[in-house]
Amino acid sequence: MNNISKSQKKTALVTGASRGIGKSIAEALINNGFFVYATYNSTDISDMEKKHKDSLEFIKVDFKSTQDLQKFIKNIQKHNFDLVINNAGMFEQEVFDKYDHDIWYNTFQVNLHTAFEICINLIENIKEDGSIINIASTDGYQGSFGSMAYAASKAALLNLTKSLANNYGALGVRVNSISPGWINTSMATDASYEAASLSPLGRNGKPEEISDVVLWLASDAARFVTGSDIKVDGGYTNVDYIMKKEAEDIKNQEQ
């Protein structure tokens, strides 16, 4: 792969690629022959740039800023893409009784509006048989207590994925989403590590287990898949805590 020139490689855009799931996705694509344009905001990217200097170009952008987003889109329209990954995300805990409305507006700006604007404005830059993948979350399937903005924005992103798939199918562009469950990244909290006890697989996920699914969705093996969401959560959302607890209690009583 290292001997392939930039002009011969497939080209991808990955937002929020400097850490966690986004970093894993970008590196997986690079390792599979892509040239990646990647966005970051504040994370140190020097090691990643040095490691992948022939296959990666970082662009600094703060997606909370409408002006930054518009400037970024204008600049990135110079390129054509085989694949667009909307991964950039914002997560901030809220205090429901003293709600900070800035969290709501900023979260929707980053998690939903940014993906919408990129998809709408770059569609003419996506090659036929190209693909868009939105990184959503299993939080979009259920209500929240202290992260309503995050959950609601991801629920909206799931629906946006379906609408874009409906409209872009005639252009030969597939649009799908991936909903990670609890993944051990820098966004993980102390409470999130407890999710492993409820997962049928007995653990939380790894970023590369999301990027593996990205590679499949972007490949010809998924050429008839569009408008779909793939949950990658180790079965966590299958589990009802009370039903699991009841079953464990019965089992303990019989022993």
Helices (H), the chain: 20-31, 46-51, 66-76, 101-108, 114-122, 148-168, 207-217, 241-254
Cβ atoms of 175 and 148 within 8 Å: the answer is no
Q: Which residues contact 92 (CB under 8 A, 6 or more apart)?
A: 103, 106, 107, 147, 149, 150
Closest CA to 119 of 15, 8, 7: 15
Query: 26: which 2 tokens?
Result: 């970008």
Q: Which residues contact 129 (CB under 8 A, 6 or more apart)?
A: 172, 173, 223
Catalytic residue ranges: 150
Q: Which residues contact 253 (CB under 8 A, 6 or more apart)?
A: none
CA–CA dist 37, 116 (Å, integer): 18
Closest CA to 29 of 213, 231, 204: 213
Query: 255: which 2 tokens?
Result: 């022993």
